[in-house]
Amino acid sequence: MKLHELSATAIAAAVQAKEVSAGDVLRAHIARIEVLDPALNCFTDRTFTRAATEAAAVDRKIAAGEVVGPLAGVPIAVKNLFDVTGLATLAGAKIEREAAPAAADAPILARLTAAGAVLLGALNMDEYAYGFVTENAHDGVTHNPHDLARIAGGSSGGSAAAVAGGLAALTLGSDTNGSIRLPAGLCGIFGLKPSYGRIDRTGTFPFVDSFDHLGPFARSTADLAIAYDLLQDSDRAMPALTQRIDGARVAVLEDWFEYGAAPEMLAAVAAVAKGLGSMAKAILPEARRARAAAFCISAFEGGQLHKANLQTRPQDFDPATRPRLIAGALQPAETIYQAQRFRNWFAHEAKKLFEIFDLLLAPATPCVAPLIGQKTFELDGQTMPLRPNLGIYTQPISFIGLPVVCVPVTTGMLPRGVQIIAPAGRESLALAAAWQLERDGVVAAPVAEPTL
């Protein structure tokens, strides 16, 4: 197996066993980036000099017999809304290019590098994280490694495509309405959106305070779990990846979460359900309204956040972002108040459902990765605008902050993502389910080999 094909866990084990040096791993990934990134457009900043220093430090420690962390020599990268020392935190925006360079890494990035990870750079995204496509007017389109004519999804498109293409073993992204789960699904990799509030957001550029989450992308469940354990102190997932969850009560979400889904997406969900030994179905009531409430709150909080720049320099925003932010900021208070009231009601309904089931399943997207530039798609027999509707199955879940592991069904066609949704605080259960599916061969994330 080539070095860029190894999981983060395998890289760290090989480095620690002195089978390969961190420097060798880094050079292999830089070579991969040099060849593929001109076509994929994942990276907006490359920090290879820093990476060389970090890799050399890992190799020195190992040579000296010192203890190294669980990510020793693992090449990582972060969505460009994370603070990286010496770089302006772009958040995908032209306006933020004027920002002073960050004085320090975001704390959760620092946690990974303290564990031995090596930072390759910062990654492309939709402007201010407001989108599902990563067709950024300032930094260009990130292409899907499985088919360069298709989108990687968004807003963490660079983070997903970099892992899928073997440019990095592990990346970080953010998820407000689906921005980890959606690109993970379209790019055929694993993504974790933890419970709301689980991971510290300090040192990252906000979008919607009510819904913003941070989390990792990887090509294996174990990599997600080890990253999750490093990113916070209140939970441990790795111990859960040792036993099957055959007793878990699992159900496929019907109603809204089937509405408009392509048959191949429903087939992927069914394959995952079968892999978890379940034929049960469940309904999360009024998910359509949850999606609508998340839609309105996101536009409002995002618009208010950027109001000063929308007043004085609207021409500097991405044309795809600008109208939604302006319109969002001008919404009446009634909408936002009632949407936040509905959030409480909907969270209570989800809790009731989790008294019956332990895990819920739903597609990550209604369809496989759309073509770049595609404006509409078929949803339940109707032609619908693509951008606002790709996240219809992810938005109701982040609305109430539930933890989700997105797992990739990659056999036979373009990747299809399935959300494994757990009760708040039960990330470990969702990760254990993903690990079981991966071990049984139901889901997998092989490195994509783009045709250049």
Partner 1 sequence: MTPSDDPIADYLDQAAILLNLPIRPEHYAEVLAAFRVLRAQAEVVTEFALPEHTEAAPRYTP
> Is 307 a residue of the active site?
no
**Cα(344)–Cα(253) distance, integer angstroms:** 20
Residue 380 as a binder of partner 1 (CB under 8 A): the answer is: no
Place of tokens 């809790």: 351
Among positions 39-68, residues that touch partner 1 (CB under 8 A) are: none
Q: Which of 86, 101, 239, 319 touches partner 1 (CB under 8 A)?
A: 319
Among the listed residues 341, 352, 375, 439, the single contact to partner 1 using CB under 8 A: 341
Q: Which of 107, 206, 388, 425 binds partner 1 (CB under 8 A)?
A: 388
Listing DSSP states for 15-82 in one string gives HHTTSS-HHHHHHHHHHHHHHHHHHH--EEEE-HHHHHHHHHHHHHHHHTT----TTTT-EEEEETTB
User: 297 vs 445, which CB is nearer to partner 1?
Assistant: 297
In angstroms, what is the minimal distance from the CB of 34 to partner 1?
Answer: 39
Q: How far is the CB of 177 from partner 1 (least distance, A)?
A: 13
Q: Does residue 155 have an active-site annotation?
A: yes
SS3 of 190, please?
A: strand
Distance CA 325, CA 415 (A): 31
Amino acid at 343: R
Give the bridge partners for 419, in sequence order: 362, 406
Interaction pattern, residues 64-93, with partner 1; x per rule: CB under 8 A:
------------------------------
- Kindly tell me which residue out of 52, 57, 99, 326 binds partner 1, with binding defined by CB under 8 A: 326
Nearest to 379 by CA among 395, 394, 393: 393
Q: Which C-beta is closer to partner 1: that of 387 or that of 426?
A: 387
**3-class SS of residue 213:** strand
| Cα dist from 419 to 21, 354, 403, 433, whole Å | 36, 15, 10, 11
Asked if 191 and 216 touch (Cβ cutoff 8 Å), the reply is yes
What is each CA distance from 89 to 122, 214, 299, in whole angstroms? 9, 16, 22
Q: Which tokens is 437 given?
A: 């599916």
User: Per the residue annotation, which of 7, 79, 220, 428 is the catalytic one?
Assistant: 79
Least Cα distance to 272 among 412, 441, 437 occurs for 437
- Among residues 239 and 323, whose Cβ is nearest to partner 1? 323
Q: Does 344 bind partner 1 (CB under 8 A)?
A: yes
Nearer to partner 1, 23 or 314 (CB): 314
Judged by CB under 8 A, the residue of 239, 337, 356, 376 near partner 1 is 337
Q: Find the shortest distance in angstroms from Cβ 319 to partner 1.
A: 8
CB atoms within 10 A of CB 373: 11
* Cα 179 from Cα 162, distance rounded (Å): 15
* Interface with partner 1, residue 377, by CB under 8 A: no
Residue 287 or 429 having the CB closest to partner 1: 287
Instruction: Specify the residue, 113 or 321, whose C-beta has the smaller distance to partner 1.
Output: 321
Give me the least distance between CB of 231 and partner 1, in Å please.
20
Any contact of residue 329 with partner 1 (CB under 8 A)? yes
Is residue 323 at the binding interface for partner 1, with CB under 8 A as the rule? yes
| 125 closest CA partner among 80, 165, 87, 166 | 80
Stretch that binds partner 1, among 49-57, 160-168, 222-230, 312-320 (CB under 8 A): 312-320
Applying CB under 8 A, among 264, 286, 316, 349 the residue interacting with partner 1 is 286
Nearest to 205 by CA among 113, 122, 313, 295: 122
Closest approach, Cβ 338 to partner 1, in A, equals 5
DSSP character at residue 376: E
Which element (helix H / strand E) includes 280? strand 280-282
Task: Tell me if 330 contacts partner 1 by CB under 8 A.
Answer: yes
Strand-pair partners of 218: 170, 190
Region from 28-36, 229-237, 241-249, 285-293 binding partner 1, contact rule CB under 8 A: 285-293
Site for partner 1 in 192-221 (CB under 8 A): 209-210
For position 246 contacting partner 1 by CB under 8 A, the verdict is no
Has 179 been annotated as catalytic?
A: yes
Least distance (Å) between residue 386 CB and partner 1: 13
Residue pointed to by tokens 């550029």:
205
The residue annotated as part of the active site, out of 21, 179, 398, 428, is 179
Q: Which two tokens stand for residue 132?
A: 């599902």
Reduce the DSSP state of residue 308 to 3 states and report it: helix
**Catalytic positions, written as ranges:** 79, 155, 179
Site residues, partner 1 (CB under 8 A): 209-210, 286, 288-289, 292-293, 295-296, 299, 307, 310-311, 314-315, 319, 322-324, 326-332, 334-335, 337-345, 347, 388
